Each structure stands twice: as C-alpha cells, then as structure tokens.
Chain A
Amino acid sequence: MRPEKSEKKEISIGIPGLIEIHYKREKLVKAVDVKPCGMMVLALSDGVLVLHYDENTKKLRYAFFDSKGRLRDVGETF
C-alpha cells in the first residue's frame, strides 16, 4: 500500500512566528504570506482552507470548504 504523501509548508506571518501547515496534496503550493490581520487561502485536494489571523486577539481562525462550496469544518487556535 502506497504511503500517503504528506507535505509541510512553513509560512511566516510576522509577529507570532510561524504557521506550519501539514497537508496531503500531490503538488507543491507556492508560499503565501499571511500578514497580521490578513487572510489567506490554500487549495487542498478536496477543497479550500481559508485562514485569517487576528492580531488583536492573537487567534488564527480557519474554515474548510469542499470543492462544491459546502462548509465542512471551522475552528480557531487559542
């Protein structure tokens, strides 16, 4: 059985240090800077991950939508 391919991306967001995103995907993604209070998106194989870092609360909020635009997961770091 072929092991699942896992890739790791480090993205600088300035003030709080690093966001590391580990995901399964067949091809590499270009790095995108997330500015403080900025938003970024990452296309994954099954949909899109939306991230927003709020500098005031120091929280990273995320939402994952599948390719048909259906919401699948939301959360935040504390």
Chain B
Amino acid sequence: MSATISEEDVKKELELHDELDLVLVLAIGPSLASHLAVQKRAILISKLLGVDLEVKPYRYGLYSETITEKLQSAKNATLFRKRDGKYELAPIGLRAYYEILKRLAVKKGEDTSRFIEILHHMSDDELLALTYHLFPESFEESEIKDKVRAVIEQFRGKGIIKAKREGEKIVLEADA
C-alpha cells in the first residue's frame, strides 16, 4: 500500500496537522512503540524543537495529557494507530516520519535527526534515565524514582564527558 503513496500525498497530509502531531510521528517512529516510550520521546523532541507542550510530574515521570489526547484523536488516524496496546505509524505516517526527518536535517542540522534516530534505539530504562536526569522534576510524583535513580547513578561520571566551570563559562570536553 505504501508504494501507492506519492510524495505529494505526504506533503498534503503534513499540511493537515499541527506541529505537535508531527512530533508524535517522530516519537512513534518506524517500530511499534509503547505509550511510555511515545510520551518520553515526544517530551524530549518537543523540548528540543521548541514546541509548546504542557507537562506535569506523574507516576512515571513527566507526563503530557495533550499527548494522550492526540494519540487517541480520530483526526490523527491517518498518521498513526493503536495496535496490541502500543502505537504504530500508518503507511502515510511512516512516509511522513522520513519526510520530517529529512526536513529537520536541512532546517536544524544532522544532529537533530541523528538524535531522533538514536532515541528509537534506546530502551525504556534509558529513555526514563534521560528524561529524569535532564528534567529532575520528573522525580516529584514518581513511583519508580529509585529504579531510575539507580540507572542514572550507574552511568554518572564515566569520564567520556568532562564538565567544568571557568568563571562564567562552562567547558565540556568530549572524548567521543
């Protein structure tokens, strides 16, 4: 079916959606994704791209009611759908995923699109560790904070990145 979807079809479909819908396409990605993974990826991507998204600390860290509503919205059924309790992109949504990545690489640079691709290789534990570490308010209402903290501590100060302050300046040295 995807072979019959033209580039023009994808462009027209993208015009029908707001930027948060497109963040969700990036967050679901090419494989079946759990609700937790979609939430965490979408929060990270929206922060990175500067897309407004209201989030609050909840049982598994930062949570967005808007993301849940959009995942269930009939308007988005052309892009993604629920299967076996998880989310997957519809054929045109998958084409849209690669189109958005291509546009981001041009507009924001390869770093952004590479990060989004790497997000899809992360396990749930790593996604949780990343969001909790970057946004410590995630711990506030969390039922799994001890588990997540243990993962973060396991990787703290491994020496690949060295950070220091020099007056008003922050210096990061990356051995990678």
A32 with B109: in contact, given A48-B115, A71-B126, A72-B155 (CB under 8 Å)?
yes
Tell which of B115, B168, B172 touches A43, judged by Cβ atoms closer than 8 Å: B115
Interface residues on B, range: 35 or more
Tell which of A19, A21, A69, A78 touches B118, judged by Cβ atoms closer than 8 Å: A69
Q: Within 8 Å of chain A (Cβ to Cβ): is B1?
A: no
A6's nearest neighbour on chain B, judged by CB, is B173
A: number of interface residues (CB 8 Å): 46
In the complex the two chains form, what is the Cα distance from A47 to B58 in whole Å? 30
Which residues of the partner chain A approach B118 to less than 8 Å between Cβ atoms?
Answer: 47-48, 65, 67, 69
In the complex the two chains form, what is the Cα distance from A71 to B151 in whole Å? 9
Would A63 and B168 count as touching, CB distance under 8 A?
no
B135's nearest neighbour on chain A, judged by CB, is A52
A19's nearest neighbour on chain B, judged by CB, is B170
Tell which of A42, A51, A60, A69 touches B126, judged by Cβ atoms closer than 8 Å: A69
Q: Within 8 Å of chain A (Cβ to Cβ): is B174?
A: yes
Mostly helix, strand, loop or mixed at chain B's interface? mixed
Mask, B135-146, CB within 8 Å of A = 1, is 100000000000
Which residues of the partner chain B approach A23 to less than 8 Å between Cβ atoms?
Answer: 173-174, 176
Would A19 and B172 count as touching, CB distance under 8 A?
yes
Would B121 and A52 count as touching, CB distance under 8 A?
no
Q: Which of B44, B118, B129, B152 has its CB near the most chain A CB atoms (within 10 A)?
A: B118
Q: Within 8 Å of chain A (Cβ to Cβ): is B156?
A: yes
Would B110 and A50 count as touching, CB distance under 8 A?
no
Tell which of A39, A52, A64 touches B174, judged by Cβ atoms closer than 8 Å: A64
Known contacts A22-B173, A24-B176, A69-B126; 20 additional CB pairs below 8 A are A17-B169, A18-B168, A18-B169, A19-B170, A23-B176, A38-B50, A39-B44, A39-B47, A41-B112, A43-B110, A43-B111, A43-B115, A48-B115, A49-B172, A50-B134, A52-B134, A63-B130, A68-B121, A74-B129, A74-B152
Q: Interface on A for B, CB 8 Å cutoff? A: 16-24, 29-30, 32, 35, 38-52, 60-65, 67-78
